[in-house]
Amino acid sequence: MNKINLKNIYNEDVTIEIVDNENEANFITHSGTFHADEIMASVILLNKFGSMKLFRCSKPQNSNAFIYDVGFGAFDHHGVDFDEIRENGIKYASCGLVWKTFGKDIVSKLNIEDVNSFVQSVDKNLIMDIDRDDNGQPLNNEPEVKQQNIPSLISSFNPVWNVFDKENKCFLCALSFANIIFNNMIDKMIAKEAARKIVEEKIEESKEGVLVLDNYMPWKDIVLTSINPKAKDILYAIFPSKRGGYNVVATPVVSGSFDVKKPFPKNWAGKEDEELQKISGVHSITFCHKNLFICACKTYEDAIKIAEISIKNEERE
């Protein structure tokens, strides 16, 4: 297999073909073991330029091709004198250089209000960690458990040490996988931008620290980054559950954390149904997570009651 068909983020058909003749190629990257860096860079280039004829080698000779992650050109970060680095200290790799150059062009074709902010968000949420990994920069507070991040998952597509004839097939399988990740990430971020306006309106309508949403949508990051003064007072969000009934979710202290501004009462932890109803005094409550960041109940009125009881609760950590 030397060719695959994919859908780009505009839902257009694109192909990538690995060619044997360098002079037939319009894109060139390095041969041998592949990494998330050039794989995701290839996905970005597909979205910028369309279908690709790709040649993989260690010393490019075709100067008419777009060369990346090899050859010490504008899109290769391996040169001794290369020193492009972000303000937060994460060095650019080829993927980041490609996104930095073409990200705005790609996003401009989407229905995005703030293109520059969206480009930066993609860098933060997807590209930056790929660059970090490729440059060998460690994660802060790296846990003992091995993290299966995007770079490690893409690396797993490389052929095993004693298989020598499947490298291009594995490369294309990894690229197909990365293309799905990229498309899904962009779709989720577009949906989040659509949610932002709604959540901001609901923040303005919020009362006594309770945010009420008509249906679930991403809300935590929006609340935590909102410039509306009322956002700082929001302790709980209420919305219909996909399982039926309602969820009441505590606002995290920071994005991605399960530590919350105000947990539910301690004696609710891990309780369910009749036992929890008796303890809490809430008729239709069905569940409280043992870590006190989410409750479920059957009615909207009881969802409000859960939030009110928890806000008034004076327990100390």
pLDDT in tens, 44-94: 999 999 999 999 999 999 999 999 999 999 999 999 899 999 999 999 999
Residue 276 pLDDT exceeds 80: yes
For residue 133 the two structure tokens come to 């990994």
- Tokens 């933060």 belong to 124
Contact 209, 189 (CB under 8 A): no
Q: How high is the pLDDT of residue 263?
A: 96
Using pLDDT thresholds of 50, 70 and 90, give the confidence band for residue 141: low
DSSP secondary structure string for all residues of the chain: --EEEEE-TTS-EEEEEE-S-GGG-SEEE--SS--HHHHHHHHHHHHHH-SEEEEE-SS---TTSEE-SSTTSTT---STT---B-TTSPBP-HHHHHHHHHHHHHHHTS--S-HHHHHHHHIIIIIHHHHHHHTTPPPTT--SSPP--HHHHHHTTSPPTT--S-HHHHHHHHHHHHHHHHHHHHHHHHHHHHHHHHHHHHHHH-BTTEEE-SS----HHHHHH--SGGGGG--EEEEE-TTSSEEEEEPBSSTT-S-BSSPPPGGGTT-BHHHHHHHH--TTEEEE-TTSSEEEES-HHHHHHHHHHHHH-----
Give the bridge partners for 85, in sequence order.
Answer: 91
Q: How far is CA 221 from the centre of its chain?
A: 13
Angle between helices 115-122 and 94-108 (to 10 degrees): 150
Residue 143 pLDDT exceeds 50: no
pLDDT in tens, 284-308: 999 999 999 999 999 999 999 999 9
Residue 272 pLDDT exceeds 90: yes
pTM of the model: 0.82
Q: How high is the pLDDT of residue 6?
A: 96
Give the amino acid at 110.
L
| Angstrom distance (rounded) from CA 104 to CA 189 | 15
Angle between helices 115-122 and 167-205 (to 10 degrees): 130
Using pLDDT thresholds of 50, 70 and 90, give the confidence band for residue 9: very high
Determine phi and psi for 31, rounding to 5 degrees: -90, -175
pLDDT in tens, 154-210: 999 998 877 766 889 999 999 999 999 999 999 999 999 999 999 999 999 999 999
Residue 315 pLDDT exceeds 90: no
**Mean pLDDT across the chain:** 93
Mean pLDDT for 98-118 is: 95
